[in-house]
Chain A
């Protein structure tokens, strides 16, 4: 089937294959350049900011609506630095929703908040193919049941109050009756929440965040049964007594449920029925009860504008949001095309530290209490030998790693899994377990009876610091135990698939950050792969402690049980803790609002986790101050 080109004189003509070789040279060069490893950063810098939060479980409570309806007062600094023209303009300025702007607000054409982020059409967790694959400006098109403030307190969202039945299995959420949908079809109500939970449990949806609501986490009654097609979705444990009273039934006592319902963001039931879950991706069908509505979407650009029909306290100051997936968001931030940026790499942090301007804009916060760790598949040799694992565990010099690679501004050494500040965190009690002690490591290696010459260490390539961390750890193992360690990198999907496979990745490096603020979430990761956890380590006592603590409401007994469980986890040496991450976000100085004020947990000014989204109350209360007039900013 091949073709032949015969020519009487072909000397002068390069063949197509030769020519393609010439063209291909640039591609090969590109690949080689791309393979270059990141160099570790050199010196330490300022300390991260963390502070303890309450360790108590969320107990039934009653609270009034707290979302701010008033304009924040202009700060003295920003008012003083504003240009007179801008001040005069904004003195009695109302935005397109009719909301009175703060005195120091910039003109309306500057009220555009620009972020870098995937321009996914998924505007809510329930819509996208994956809940982790949402847009940079997702989750602001409705009001979830509860919210979390920047001190990690659970505060009202759509629910103004909630209480639990005597048997602890039924939650009653009283809903606001003043959250209009933007299409005028009525208010956000119990039917919307019911339709949403049923949609998530519907096998036809193919939802991937089901563990969150199923047994072992949210414990929503019949959620798993509906998912497995054993009962119809109508039997999932959500119902109503009236339009604004939602009942949520759980299969076991779940005292932390209001902490989880920050992610209970409702669809508009009518739009869901009429257009399917993608209704929000189309401006023509988008319906919102939150501060913004979708106005345009393309795979590389996503825009939302003010929801002029929003309730007064939900109505934002910001006129427009845009998300563009920049390849190098740090450069885009420096070019004045985005207003915030989360620093992740050692190179970026070096630039920030050395820049007088950027260092003032950097605000460390605890983020989602993420911890990076090594794990072993304890069902495989030689990792089934605990003494050998201990030998490896005592070779991780986490203090040095944080000091020289991670940099103290981006993390702190981890002695346990729960970061300081997270409920039930117990750092001091765990500090002497996984110590860095090469001498002890050598002794333990001899005692273990293990004799291996090669190991493979695999990391998930979502943290640019892993290559340097793994190289350092591998070097310590080689130097002290004489074992060669091959380092392997895998993309997220492949890594997870291989971690969950049998046999699993034998020796891996990965991280986990909270989905909800309770030890049951973080420690649930280690309940064993057969129980829905991530790893093969399976400890009966650990599981019993988690099972006992989960439904408990008494403190400090509940916290103590989780602390016992974390100690067992750490002493198992099935997991070697590396560091607790600190997020360093850069915020342009013209961003103002209550969300940017220092809190009790995150004591630096700046919008802390979870950031822009309906999970916290701040999207409606931030704005661009007239300090922007001093900046070179491009609105794209």
Chain B
């Protein structure tokens, strides 16, 4: 286990270095910069001043190395888009909103998705199963921005049940309702489909048949034997869902005007806000890598047959 963790840690460092280098290289190669020439071209002296101000006049690998050294020390620089604002300050201003949005979405969508999946499996090929399958397909295939558009058009513009965007968890909890629902819908669908598949798989196993043959009740078999063996696939899907919840949803946050890190990240790309792009990519990469590591460790706890080597 220790050897495995060390290996993963080394892999983690390697992944972060590669991801950061590729991101930096792509930013460097992308036309445009932290300035605007929309109306008229910049004067050469003005461009030189801007480039010098942001330290972009050095070779990109030097910029990358400097950035990474500073990042290791917790210094992610200052935003180009929001002059005077530290990237870390901005990040921690945004992140709690993403965490709240993602947390609430997971809170309702994960249990519901799991229950729907199990119910569908237990009613295989019957009407309830078909309804759940269609619902799951719709929520998985419809992109969140389309759902957001229609939800806002119906519930905010036409019916006026909810505010049109905005984010005011303490002052107006109604601002949370639509984004939390839209953000969670995809998870419900994915999990329902996944759980249904997993449950059907488990229910077909010999030990389930044996238990039933020994006279154990159907409910007891499902709760005690099938559900326990479903924990591994639940953990498998919970990793990415959790990562998604922690790192925010760019589309949902944009549409509902939520100051979360998904919004932050999307804006930074449009604005060529290099320090923010780098910080966002690094943080997301770290969270993803750690989540997968934890998921793998969780496997060994839930299923002793699984070994990490």
Contacts and interface: CB of A to CB of B under 8 A. Distances in A.
Interface of A: 1-9, 11-14, 16, 19-20, 22-23, 25-27, 29-30, 33-34, 120-121, 127-133, 203-208, 210-211, 214, 224, 227-229, 276-278, 281, 298-301, 324-328, 331-332, 334-337, 462, 491-494, 496-498, 500-501, 512-513, 515, 525, 529, 532-534, 632, 634, 636
A206 B160 contact: no
A183 to B, nearest CB: 19
B38 A276 contact: no
B259 A12 contact: no
B40 A534 contact: yes
Nearest to A16: B236
B163 A299 contact: no
Given A14-B197, A299-B264, A1 B37 contact: no
Contact of B39 (A128, A133, A500, A512): A512
A1 B259 contact: no
B164 A335 contact: yes
Contact of B36 (A9, A328, A493, A512): A493
A497 B42 contact: no
Contact of B11 (A3, A30, A120, A497): A3
B263 to A, nearest CB: 7
A632 B36 CA distance: 39
Given A30-B144, A30-B145, 17 more contacts: A3-B4, A13-B236, A14-B233, A23-B186, A23-B240, A26-B144, A29-B143, A34-B143, A132-B39, A208-B36, A300-B167, A327-B165, A337-B166, A496-B37, A497-B37, A515-B39, A636-B163
Nearest to B10: A1
A210 B43 contact: yes
Contacts of A525: 40
Nearest to A127: B83
Contacts of A13: 198, 232-233, 236
B156 interface: yes
Contacts of B186: 23, 26
B50 A2 contact: no
Contacts of A337: 163-166
Contact of A491 (B145, B194, B270, B307): B270
Given A12-B233, A214-B43, A335 B143 contact: no
Interface in B1-35: 4, 7-8, 10-11, 14, 30-35
B143 A121 contact: no
Contacts of A277: 83-84
Interface string B274-309: 000000000000000000100110010001011111
A26 B251 CA distance: 12
Contacts of A634: 160, 163-164
Interface in B64-95: 80-85, 90, 93-94
A278 B84 contact: yes
B233 A121 contact: no
Interface residues of B, number: 95
A14 B172 CA distance: 41
Contact of B38 (A34, A278, A496, A532): A496
Contact of A332 (B8, B164, B299): B164
Interface in B86-142: 90, 93-94, 140-142
Contacts of A632: 160
A203 B43 CA distance: 12
A130 B43 contact: no
A206 B53 contact: yes
B156 A335 contact: yes
Interface in B144-175: 144-146, 148-149, 152-153, 156-157, 160, 163-168, 172
B194 A19 contact: yes
A493 B197 contact: no
A8 B257 contact: no
Contacts of B239: 16
23 contacts: A3-B7, A3-B308, A7-B307, A9-B305, A13-B232, A14-B194, A16-B239, A22-B193, A26-B141, A120-B82, A129-B35, A205-B53, A301-B166, A327-B148, A332-B165, A335-B156, A493-B31, A494-B31, A496-B37, A497-B32, A515-B40, A532-B41, A534-B41
A494 B272 CA distance: 10
B156 A11 contact: no
A125 to B, nearest CB: 12
